[in-house]
Amino acid sequence: MERDDIDKLFEDLQGSFDTNAPKLGHEQRFLEKLKASKKDANRRKKSWWRPFAVAASIALLCTLAFGAYESLPTFEEKVAEISPEVSRTQFYFASLIEEKVKALEEESTPETRRIIDDSMLQLDKLESDYTKLEQDLVNGGNTKLLLSAMITNFSTRIDLLQDVLNHIENIKKLKYNDETKTTI
């Protein structure tokens, strides 16, 4: 039955078909319109992809950079890797030095302020020397010699602080003696 409907349709349309050849340049105009419509479609498709692609690239680079940064050992970890004793010794001496510095700060008076400030400057110099020694150790210097120098540096800092504390104690005794002489 469908076949009959199609045949009837063609019989009705017979003679109304356009059988003339298209005008000159028709194919070229058609292709240009087709290209233009493809460009518009591509622009619409790409317009949301470009920002998404840029954001995804930035996220990927940040992730890679963070991963690379995370995997790099810190300076202290490098030193501990070369010599685990150094990190333990450093912790011990650092806590001892911190205690002595706190004791020094507690003894601060107008009479002792100058000597305390001078000793803190000396401590800073010794600490910068220690940092250089650590850097030399990480860079592959003579390990035994550098470790000995590092321990000597800590020992020197502790001795300096102890000497200053002793000197402050002497100042306090002299001040006390002066005060007792003047009150009698």
pLDDT tier at 153 (50, 70, 90 boundaries)? very high
pTM attached to this predicted model: 0.54
Number of domains observed in the structure of the chain: 2
90 and 65, same domain (yes or no): no
69 and 88, same domain (yes or no): no
62 and 93, same domain (yes or no): no
105 and 167, same domain (yes or no): yes
Query: Would the CA dihedral through 118, 124, 126, 128 be positive or negative?
Result: negative
Domain interval for residue 57 = 46-73
Each residue of 26-68: pLDDT tens digit?
A: 788 888 887 887 766 666 555 666 777 788 888 888 887 777 6
**Residues near 75 by Cβ (< 8 Å), separated by ≥ 6?**
134, 138
Within-domain flag for 179: yes
Q: What is the pLDDT of residue 29?
A: 85
DSSP codes joined into one string, 76-87: HHHHHHH-HHHH
Within-domain flag for 13: no
